[in-house]
């Protein structure tokens, strides 16, 4: 995780660096820091967010080359001494990734009498580079030499006290982009960070090194040869204004779901599936966190539309087990960022086994999108809140569209089914907009959950996945103890946790499971639970006598699922606000989890 940035400008660089860091804050926000080359280094570090860093630089810092970092702690607590940049003998480094062999490197350095300030794995990097530089290597060569000794993943930006007009960048495993603009050469973990200063960017490949100077960006490949990478336009962060209106990016992104869903649908509606994927005999759906829940929610639809078994696995488990796969398996890898280390590891594990891969991904330049056989994009737009909201509903829609396209290709979808599913898909954007209007009810539910400090979510089929997502949202935003259970599983033990007044949120829609879910709601009610039912119009009458709070959601069938997504998102946001927690930047988290 972590976000790195570096810049060489025709004018003082510090404020542009901090602005860019602000746009990378979603990658981690435990601490932040920057170094600007002067004469000498000007360095500032803060524990906490970027606004503190901006305040601390004031109008000082005249240097025209600098590097910056926003941290998600892996090695060492969120303390000033662990904040980047790390400096040794005239070399300053910011790092995203994990250096696996740092202990052995560090002990060798300690034996040579070198000293360390931090508990981080990163601090060995400036020591290695400074040693190479002291031995006479030019900046690029010094970085290359150091990288040869590093094991693990890294994207680094390096500043030299004795070469204050340049920044050197290296990449292995962790994503990083170089960019250029009028009078500016820059690097960042995400090109959107550079929208205000750069026009175009190129993604570095593993083993690449780049030199940023006032002459521009020079890229070398892993053999040290000058190379070219594909330059693309830098897109801005389009939701900035809305966050002001809604009070947080997350809330704005919940409101933006209808348009995000329409965009995604328009993008995928006419997409054709290549033959080697359409002929799959089995799907393996993989994701992490909310992306896994989106896949779980879509799974019954995929099985029904395509008529083949669909396995579901968390990427972190899938990469560990390396389970045998049946012939004809196609991997469907679901990820907003396309950068999550666990899902990338699954991609690397499946590729040599000749498993065709579909990437359902929101960030078009991400490694997952580039590495898969078929990119099946969501068009949620940039999601700046750490919690997945619009990307989650767009993933569900994209996956169901994928199922429909597969089914049509294979002849498993009849004309009637196609018309019915098309109608449902066309309706989900409007359903989300209508669900948002029930906000006052969601706020009241949030008050109750905050008061009780806990919640149990239950559902069956796709609604079980929605229950899981509801519990995740309630954990990650208001930090409440929340659990999700497949409603039918409760009676096998977990029902013992239900006590007088304990809130149970029942996700149910009409259809084959509604009656059974209703029976489970009765069971928890009989044990004193406070039942909150999120149901559709068709099941409202049946749930009314059982529910202490009944929310009748818009939509039916597929629509109910999307309305439930909006409901659980808004409940969690309200609960976080009531508890005075930062909605966009919940504790201990980061948007792109690039560590395993």
Catalytic residues: 2, 591
Residue 389 near residue 250 (C-beta atoms within 8 A): yes
Query: CA dist 222 to 102, 172, 269, 320, Å?
Result: 22, 10, 40, 29
Q: Which DSSP string corresponds to 371-439?
A: HSSEE---------SSS-SHHHHHHHHHHHHHHHHHHHHHT-S-HHHHHHHHHHHHHHHHHHHHHHTTH
Of 217 and 388, the one with the shorter C-beta distance to ligand F6R is 388
Q: Which DSSP string corresponds to 81-93?
A: GGSSPEEETTEEE
Tell me how far apart the alpha carbons of residues 252 and 451 are, in angstroms, rounded to a whole number: 26
Of 174 and 290, the one with the shorter C-beta distance to ligand F6R is 290
Provide the greatest CA pair distance for the chain: 81
Helix (H, G, I), strand (E, B) or coil at 254: helix
Least distance in angstroms from the C-beta of 207 to ligand F6R? 24
Of 184 and 336, the one with the shorter C-beta distance to ligand F6R is 336
Least distance in angstroms from the C-beta of 385 to ligand F6R? 9
Of 254 and 546, the one with the shorter C-beta distance to ligand F6R is 254
Least distance in angstroms from the C-beta of 28 to ligand F6R? 13
Least distance in angstroms from the C-beta of 72 to ligand F6R? 12
Least distance in angstroms from the C-beta of 362 to ligand F6R? 8
The residues that bridge with 178 in the sheet, in sequence order, are 187, 202
Q: Which contiguous run of DSSP H or E holds residue 466?
A: helix 462-476
Residue nearest to ligand F6R (CB): 289
Least distance in angstroms from the C-beta of 71 to ligand F6R? 17
Residues in contact with ligand F6R by CB under 6 A are: 288-291, 335-337, 340, 343, 387-388, 472, 476, 592-593
31 φ, ψ to 5°?
-160, 165
Q: Which DSSP string corresponds to 306-326?
A: H-S-EEEEEHHHHHHH-----
Least distance in angstroms from the C-beta of 250 to ligand F6R? 9
Q: Which contiguous run of DSSP H or E holds residue 110?
A: helix 102-111
Of 34 and 576, the one with the shorter C-beta distance to ligand F6R is 576
Of 175 and 403, the one with the shorter C-beta distance to ligand F6R is 175
Q: In the block, which residue shows the tokens 């002990």?
A: 107
* Nearest residue to 379 (alpha-carbon basis) of 196, 489, 369, 475: 369
Residue 190 near residue 171 (C-beta atoms within 8 A): no
Parallel, antiparallel or unpaired: strands 31-37 and 86-88: unpaired
Of 124 and 346, the one with the shorter C-beta distance to ligand F6R is 346
């Amino acid at each position: 995780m972590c976000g790195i940035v570096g810049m060489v400008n025709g004018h003082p660089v510090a404020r542009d660096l901090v602005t860019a860091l602000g746009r990378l804050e979603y990658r981690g926000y435990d601490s932040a820091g920057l170094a600007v080359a002067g004469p000498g280094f000007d360095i500032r570090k803060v524990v906490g967010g970027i606004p503190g860093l901006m305040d601390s630089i004031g109008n000082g810092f005249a240097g025209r080359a600098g590097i910056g970092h926003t941290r998600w702690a892996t090695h060492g607590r969120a303390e000033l001494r662990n904040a980047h940049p790390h400096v040794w003998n005239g070399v300053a480094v910011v790092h995203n990734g994990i250096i696996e062999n740092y202990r052995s490197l560090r002990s060798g350095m300690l034996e040579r009498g070198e000293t360390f300030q931090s508990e981080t794995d990163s601090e060995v990097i400036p020591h290695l580079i400074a040693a190479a530089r002291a031995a006479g290597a030019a900046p690029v060569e010094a970085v290359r030499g150091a990288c040869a000794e590093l094991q693990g993943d890294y994207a680094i930006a390096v500043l030299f006290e004795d070469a204050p007009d340049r920044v050197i960048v290296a990449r292995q495993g962790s994503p990083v982009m170089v960019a250029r603009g009028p009078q500016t050469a820059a690097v960042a973990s995400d090109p959107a960070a550079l929208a205000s200063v750069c026009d175009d960017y190129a993604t570095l490949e593993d083993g690449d090194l780049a030199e940023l100077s006032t002459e521009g960006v020079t890229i070398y490949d892993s053999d040290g040869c000058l190379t070219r990478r594909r330059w693309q336009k830098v897109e801005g962060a389009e939701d900035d204004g809305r966050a002001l209106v809604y009070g947080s990016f997350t809330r704005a992104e919940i409101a933006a779901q209808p348009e995000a869903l329409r965009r995604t649908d328009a993008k995928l509606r006419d997409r054709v599936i290549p033959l080697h994927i359409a002929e799959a005999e089995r799907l393996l759906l993989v994701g992490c966190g909310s992306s896994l829940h989106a896949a779980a929610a879509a799974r019954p639809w995929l099985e029904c539309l395509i008529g083949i078994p669909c396995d579901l696995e968390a990427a972190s488990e899938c990469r560990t087990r390396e389970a045998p796969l049946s012939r004809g398996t196609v991997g469907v890898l679901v990820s907003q960022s396309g950068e999550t280390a666990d899902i990338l590891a699954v991609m690397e594990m499946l590729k040599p086994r000749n498993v065709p891969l579909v990437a359902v991904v929101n960030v078009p330049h991400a490694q997952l999108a580039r590495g898969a056989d078929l990119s099946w994009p969501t068009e949620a737009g940039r999601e700046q809140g750490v919690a997945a909201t619009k990307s989650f509903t767009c993933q569900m829609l994209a996956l169901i569209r994928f199922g429909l396209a597969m089914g049509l290709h294979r002849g498993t979808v009849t004309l009637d089914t196609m018309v019915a599913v098309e109608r449902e898909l066309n309706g989900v954007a409007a359903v989300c907009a209508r669900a948002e209007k029930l906000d006052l009810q969601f706020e009241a539910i949030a008050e109750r959950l905050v008061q009780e400090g806990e919640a149990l979510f239950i559902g069956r089929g796709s609604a079980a996945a929605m229950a899981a997502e509801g519990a995740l949202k309630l954990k990650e935003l208001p930090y409440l103890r929340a659990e999700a259970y497949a409603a039918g599983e409760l009676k096998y033990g977990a029902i013992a946790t239900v006590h007088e007044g304990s809130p149970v949120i029942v996700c149910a829609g009409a259809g084959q499971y509604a009656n059974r879910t209703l029976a489970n709601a009765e069971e928890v009610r009989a044990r004193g639970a406070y039942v909150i039912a999120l149901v559709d119009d068709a099941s409202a009458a049946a749930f009314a006598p059982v529910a202490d709070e009944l929310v009748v959601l818009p939509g039916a069938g597929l629509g109910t699922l999307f309305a439930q997504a909006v409901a659980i998102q808004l409940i969690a946001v309200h609960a976080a606000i009531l508890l005075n927690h930062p909605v966009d930047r919940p504790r201990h988290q980061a948007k792109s989890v690039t560590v395993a």
